[in-house]
Amino acid sequence: MTAGERSLDLLIRNPVTKSVLPMASKMYIDGVDDLSEAKSNPNAKIIENINSLGNITKQYLYNYGVKAGEKGVLYNSNSDFSKKLASSPELKDFIKANKESLLKKTIRDWDFEFKGLTPDKAERYFSIQHAKLIEPYIDQNNIFHGRFIDNSDFVKRNPKTPVEILKAIPNNFGYGLQEKGLYKNYYSIFDLLIDLNNE
């Protein structure tokens, strides 16, 4: 790493950052330290072989840019990460706007973009930013089911405005490490379960 990259690396690993942005910090560490955070998480499972997943999830991951042989992490619905995404206003708004379709199981997938640097939104922006919701539905007990999938494959950005430059720092930092082989791409699957009777 360059001196600048090492400074950012230390900043992301800092206990303060891990307490304020735990999801973003731990997912970054997983990319540079061989999924060390996920391996110590009782609610996460390392996926060594994509063929161990169901055909629908596997096909969506391939369509999302995951390559054969890549490792991944499956976070169950009890994981802190899945709970954070399940309680996000973006997902709640989606469910509210599409409840009838979700009850009829007519939505196969939906693209999400998490944006914003406010304290509430920064965690989702810095950790996954873009994700695809797959197989969402509401069952007869008014329970929402679904899965978010994400692939940590960075693409270089060329920002022009000061705000764009600030927002591009994490992505371009990850891209730089990825190109040097210091960050290993992996995919994430977040199982979602929401009791809508309590909403």
- Each residue of 66-96: pLDDT tens digit? 988 899 999 999 999 999 999 999 999 999 9
For the record, the structure tokens of 191 come out as 């199982």
User: In this predicted structure, what is the pLDDT of residue 172?
Assistant: 81
Residue with tokens 């596997």: 58
Beta bridge partners of 134: 109, 147
Cβ atoms within 10 Å of 174's Cβ, excluding its own? 22
Give pLDDT, residue 110: 96
For 32-36, 45-49, 167-171, which range has the lowest pLDDT when averaged over its residues?
Answer: 167-171
Question: Tens digits of per-residue pLDDT, 162-173?
Answer: 877 777 777 787
Angle of helix 162-180 relative to helix 3-13, nearest 10 degrees, comes to: 100
The percent of residues above 70 in pLDDT, for the chain, comes to 100
What pTM did the predictor assign? 0.89
What tokens were used for 118?
A: 């406010």
**pLDDT above 90 (res 126):** no
- Determine the Cα angle at 174 with ends 124 and 129, to 5°: 20
> Phi first, then psi: what are they for 130, rounded to 5°?
-115, 140
Average pLDDT over residues 138-159: 90
